[in-house]
Chains A and B, each alone.
Chain A
């Protein structure tokens, strides 16, 4: 490989990356619109497109408003579209957070629930349902549950982080262990309260199992900023993530302030996770496996891995939710079931396709 070849290949690489990203975004939009066609109510695709076009400023004129029924419009815009968008946002958020956690912990088993975000959210939700139900429903509004879940998640991660401080540093293994311990502890508390919850138990368990059946536009507005801003900020730390993955010492020698970078990334990814879990419940698999899947195809460079994982995660969750809402007639399956069932074979296939053994 002559030097000119290497140089050419390298400079081509950044344009190749940009192309991949654009293609992925286009694919995401296509998948999102496609999945709008999936649902209990049989609305034909052209009508879906008309409904969407009606709300886009410059396509407005081309649409025959009278051919759209109010019910269908309501179903698409108030029920299905928020679900699809939520699937995209949560899928992107959890995948991006997973990339960050795996990079910070240098551990392939890490996902963003590691430090207790999911346990804290579930527990907060449980307590709110048991003790504040009537007040919430009549006075405050269901948004209260979402806020409590969010706060529960954030507080738990906070506690785990400060539990693990040794002097000025937070050693990675201590953090991992603290997370495991706190998760187990909260799970125990959770079980006690679940057993005491009586009729509310079904609702609690259903929420924790994860799903998008009650997504409204308010949820979208409240969570989207977290995921968008968080991922953008995280992007500026992807070079640091690359160096962190070489080892703490090496990263320090290359000028990375490892403590600070780790702290910032954990805060960002935990906030993203808390926001996502507060609207979708605990959806597993996405944060753990999507980063690995993308890494197998794209490589370990976080500058590419972060955005592609987010987009792939979004597409994946949109599709899984579409399957979840029609798999068994009117009844819905928890979306976490679909993510695991669908994702595992794909992951195994990718793993076996590689000729060399998998290394992180």
Chain B
């Protein structure tokens, strides 16, 4: 009987090995081939966009080589005129750079800096689907020459690249990465100088905030609990160490109580929060919807929470969930919002 199992195992492993190596080889070859295919040239006229003429671009003659956050190298032979964004953060970067007129397609979730749903309904903008399911046909119909994606779209990215499109995947882990993304997109669409200015602007704002906090000589930075999800909708969920929000909180002079968690979105128990005793509780509103937690007094009334500093000192702060949903060019605003919540005396709403 033993020899039979071994025979079976060997046969199956052999078949799988042969097939998988053949397959991997073929798919690698395909990718290389597809990348060398000529890109589809934009032929039809672009869809009507609102006013704002395109920003003057640099000379399109030379090739632009770009490396995205996944290490993939893309070479553009001309300055892109038709850009599709697969994530709101990327849309915001384009518009912050003043290149919004080049955006021909975006997701159903885009709502900043304009009410894009109304544009889509009016036929002035095209939706290419949701966050994780971008519609390839819709994208192809727009014949973009640049697509801006995030890691959520990884499977679609490979498909799109195999169809011959230029795709940049942006995945900022921290503020510096985010600013690098802004610079990268600027370089891609021929708006390097605008991008550089924008980056400087943001850096200055952030530095101003951090300097002010440093000058205040705070010995005990406030402990912050950022609630992503919780009752009555579900279990308590916060953000862990390797998240964007964690970075923002540190920059704003706070300490995320779950900064040591290696999971990105750990589910935590109520007593852990009580035991950690945060000084400030941040409750982001849902995107356009009613807050999941009910109201601030509901949160304060949670069993056992009356002993938490944040509850005792009435420092439960509601922040704009939309603002924090994305990385992107509004990072300075995000840091400001949290700094105001953590140090109201230092940063009243006017500063």
Contact = CB atoms under 8 A, between A and B. Distances in A.
Q: Do chains A and B touch in the complex (CB under 8 A)?
A: yes
A142 B8 CA distance: 28
Contact of A202 (B16, B23, B140, B152): B152
Contacts of A181: none
Interface in A39-72: 39-41, 69-71
Given A147-B24, A151-B20, A198 B71 contact: no
A198 B242 CA distance: 9
B135 A330 contact: yes
A197 B154 CA distance: 15
Contact of A41 (B5, B24, B137, B159): B137
26 contacts: A40-B135, A71-B40, A75-B136, A79-B136, A133-B151, A134-B70, A137-B72, A147-B19, A151-B16, A165-B1, A195-B265, A198-B242, A198-B243, A198-B265, A202-B152, A203-B132, A203-B154, A203-B155, A211-B133, A213-B135, A215-B159, A216-B30, A217-B30, A329-B129, A330-B126, A332-B135
B206 to A, nearest CB: 24
A297 to B, nearest CB: 35
A79 B158 contact: no
Interface string A113-128: 0000000000000000
A78 to B, nearest CB: 5
A141 interface: yes
B208 interface: no
Nearest to A42: B141
Interface in B4-43: 5, 8-9, 12, 16, 19-20, 23-24, 26-28, 30-31, 40, 43
A285 interface: no
Contacts of B9: 158
Nearest to B128: A330
Interface in A144-164: 144-147, 150-151, 154, 158, 162
Interface in B88-134: 108, 126-133
A79 B23 contact: no
B156 interface: yes
B210 interface: no
Interface of B: 1, 5, 8-9, 12, 16, 19-20, 23-24, 26-28, 30-31, 40, 43-44, 70-72, 108, 126-133, 135-138, 140-141, 143, 151-152, 154-159, 162-164, 242-243, 263-265, 267
B154 to A, nearest CB: 6
A138 B129 contact: no
Contacts of B151: 133, 199-200
A45 B128 CA distance: 23
B263 A196 contact: yes
A145 B24 CA distance: 10
Contact of A143 (B23, B126, B131): B23
A143 B27 contact: yes
A141 B263 contact: no
A147 B108 contact: no
A15 interface: no
A134 B154 CA distance: 10
Given A141-B24, A147-B20, A203-B155, A216 B141 contact: no
B140 A71 contact: yes
A202 B5 CA distance: 38
Contacts of A200: 151-152
Contacts of B20: 147, 150-151
Contacts of A262: none
Given A71-B43, A71-B140, A202 B267 contact: no
A78 B140 CA distance: 10
B264 A198 contact: yes
B133 A332 contact: yes
A144 B108 CA distance: 30
B132 A202 contact: yes
A215 B26 CA distance: 15
A165 B164 CA distance: 50
Given A213-B156, A331-B108, A199 B264 contact: yes
B263 A213 contact: no
B169 to A, nearest CB: 8
Contacts of A80: 137
Nearest to B157: A137
A331 B27 contact: no
B70 A331 contact: no
Contacts of A325: 135, 137
B220 to A, nearest CB: 30
A24 to B, nearest CB: 29
